[in-house]
Amino acid sequence: MVVRPPGVSASNPQGRGRQDEVSLKPLTHVSLVIRLILLHPSASKISVSSVRGSIRDLLTASNGEKKRKFTETVELQIGLKNYDPQRDKRFSGTIKLSHVPRPRMTVCILADAADIDRAKQIDLEYMSVDDLKKLNKNKKLVKKLAKKYDAFLASDALIKQIPRLLGPGLSKAGKFPTPVSAADDLTNKVTDIKSTIKFQLKKVLCLGVAVGHVEMTEDQLLGNTMLAINFLVSLLKKNWQNVKSLHLKATMGAPARLF
């Protein structure tokens, strides 16, 4: 059984074509996730205390090393079993974590005139319609654009024009823009997109997602990790029976086995 905190749902737990988008309020998700797992031990094959211990060791090791010139990302590495990527439906799901796992994640907005002004106010990189037209649907240039940024936003007025202006390049890269309306707070929208992680099965039975970084507190990293694991399991065809292994790894550290 997989227990989801209030506000979390997976309308397509088998991963049949649609993405699941769920979120939890930042101030409540850690306690809710931990409380539900403690109340329902069958919901998880791993204990909160053991994951906390692994996180504590990971953070201690990272902080004890020579100061690095960058902030190490903490990645959840997943190994799957009893899945045939060629025959079984490939799952895909996104979930918003309460703490941004990659603060330096790069975001660009494909913007109309109004959103260009808003982007300038918060130092958000942007591209205008004229900038997009200059790419002239050139596959190499669009591919280069997709590689330059981790994620994209787009003004509501432009979202339907993206395929015509750029072709399918951003979609193929899994980076089709998230729409932004005039009523949206642009800063919050950027934070939302930086807080969202994606689980997607491709051709191999392993995947990895960023769940935090080494400058997070133990509780912040624990909350993100438990929420990510619980959501991942909800996407799998046979839940925990499809999980072969789970590891946490800082960029420069050794992997710590959770399961």
CATH of the domain at 142: 3.40.50.790
Domain span at residue 74? 21-91+201-257
Residue 251's closest CA among 68, 86, 113, 98?
Answer: 68
CA dihedral for 238, 239, 240, 244, sign (positive or negative): positive
Asked if residue 101 belongs to a domain, the reply is no
Q: Give CA 219 to chain center in angstroms.
A: 19
Q: Which residues pair with 217 in a beta bridge?
A: none
Asked if residue 99 belongs to a domain, the reply is no
The arithmetic mean of pLDDT across residues 196-203, rounded, is 92
128 φψ region: left (φ > 0), alpha (ψ -120 to 50), beta (else): beta
Within this chain, do residues 248 and 122 fall inside the same structural domain, yes or no? no
Q: Residue 52 has which token pair?
A: 């906390």
Within this chain, do residues 207 and 236 fall inside the same structural domain, yes or no? yes
Going by pLDDT thresholds of 50, 70 and 90, the confidence category of residue 232 is very high
Query: What is the percentage of the chain residues whose pLDDT exceeds 90?
Result: 73
Mean residue pLDDT of the chain comes to 86
Q: Residue 117 has which token pair?
A: 């002004």
Q: How many domains does the chain have?
A: 2
Task: Sort 155 into a burial class: Cβ within 10 Å, 0-12 / 13-18 / 19+.
Answer: buried
* Radius of gyration for the alpha carbons in the chain, expressed in angstroms and rounded: 19
The arithmetic mean of pLDDT across residues 115-143, rounded, is 96
The arithmetic mean of pLDDT across residues 197-219, rounded, is 95
Helix axes 48-64, 218-235, angle to 10 degrees: 130
Sequence-distant (6+) residues with CB within 8 A of 188 are: none
Q: Is the whole model's pTM more than 0.85, yes or no?
A: no
